[in-house]
Amino acid sequence: MPPIKQKIDALGLFCPVPLHMIGRAFRKMQAGDCVELVGDDPGLRTDMEDWTAANRHRIVERRQEGRILAFVVEKGR
């Protein structure tokens, strides 16, 4: 896994806000760069899957600790 270039704290925010945050971060990055997003919106599980597939990004790591979800996402082309 490439190193994480940016960490995004989306705790307390509901979709689509976390997806907009990661999308904004990716606009400044190159393909292959990784972002870690941490949030607590339960809908983030499916929304992140759908968003990465639609935008040709890749989830390289998923973690859950209690209600906290963390995703490491690699930017696609």
pTM to 2 decimal places: 0.94
Residue 77 confidence (pLDDT): 83
Q: Are 11 and 38 in contact (CB under 8 A)?
A: yes
Count of domains observed in the chain: 1
Q: Are 41 and 8 in contact (CB under 8 A)?
A: no
Q: What's the average pLDDT block by block, 10 residues per block, for the chain (77 residues)?
A: 92 96 96 97 96 97 97 95
CATH of the domain at 62: 3.30.110.40
Q: In what order do the strands lie in the sheet with 68-74?
A: 4-10, 34-39, 68-74, 58-65
Tell me which residue range forms the domain holding 43. 4-74
